[in-house]
Amino acid sequence: MALIQTSGEILYGVNELVIAFVVIGLLLMTIEVGYRLSDKVPAELSDSAKAPVLAISGAIFGLLALLLGFTFSMSLGRFDQRKQLVVQEANAIGTTYLRSKLLPEPHRSDVETLLRSYVDARLDFYNLRNDKGQFREVIGRTEKLHEALWSQVASVVPKDDRPVTTGLFIQALNEVIDLDAERVAAMENHVPESVLLLLILVALLAAMLIGYGCGLAKRRHLLSTSIAALLIGIVIIAIIDLDRPTRGLIRVSQNSMVRLRDGMKRDAP
């Protein structure tokens, strides 16, 4: 299992609150810039002369809405995938734990103990915040548990003359190891930063046109323009937050894994 790769990405390493203040601040600033640019337009400009500006504004706002919807869908899809993988991994570990009871002693007890430690490692893997040192420690612990579990397979196969029983256990253990790799890949899979930067750029252009339109009408509309900037900024931050599996306020629920851990502890001798 490889450490989650986020190098070379600017936004991923920045706190989401900092991004929120910067994005909303830039939106408010560009609204003001657009308003000031309209000062150069004659006050007696006719409605027909304003029509192209309104058309361009509508096109930019449509593009912004499309990008917001598209990017939100991308981040939400990745979030849902991570959520489903938690359930699948918990089910796979639970199945392996149940099938380990078919193994002869002392392998059964050893495998059950290793699986309890494995669930703790999987919870630690998710709950750690963006700390590379701690990630390496948890990943190293997980790999050692994989090796220890597989060594139990190598030890029990020559001793157990029930190929169906051991085969079922091996199949379940293989799925556990595969799902570990899938969860790491899902953690690394997020919306490309170029798409997020494009979204922010289009939002800034739209904000500038809001200010420009207010300038043409010779009214600032501070309340409505501020609310528009705030809402656009909140949606962008929600997209970024959904896309951060190890950071942010929106987190994938680990309830399935927690229930599994609690059930294993109750079953422990």
Q: Cα–Cα distance between 243 and 218 in angstroms, integer? A: 40
pLDDT band at 43 (very low <50, low <70, confident <90, very high): low
Q: Cα–Cα distance between 208 and 204 in angstroms, integer? A: 6
Whether the link from the prior residue into 106 is cis, omega within 30° of 0, is yes
Contact by Cβ (8 Å): 190, 243 = yes
Q: Which 8-state DSSP code applies to residue 10?
A: T
Q: Cα–Cα distance between 53 and 133 in angstroms, integer? A: 53
Map out the domains of the chain as residue ranges.
Answer: 18-26+51-267
C-alpha pair distances (Å), 222 with each of 32, 215, 229, 231: 10, 12, 10, 14
Structure tokens at 261: 């851990």
pLDDT digits (tens, 9 = 90+) for 3-29: 444 445 677 777 778 888 999 999 999
Rounded to an integer, the average pLDDT of 49-61 is: 77
pLDDT band at 88 (very low <50, low <70, confident <90, very high): very high
Task: Write phi, then psi, for 7 (nearest 5 degrees).
Answer: -65, 150
Q: Which helix or strand (DSSP H or E) is residue 196 part of?
A: helix 193-216
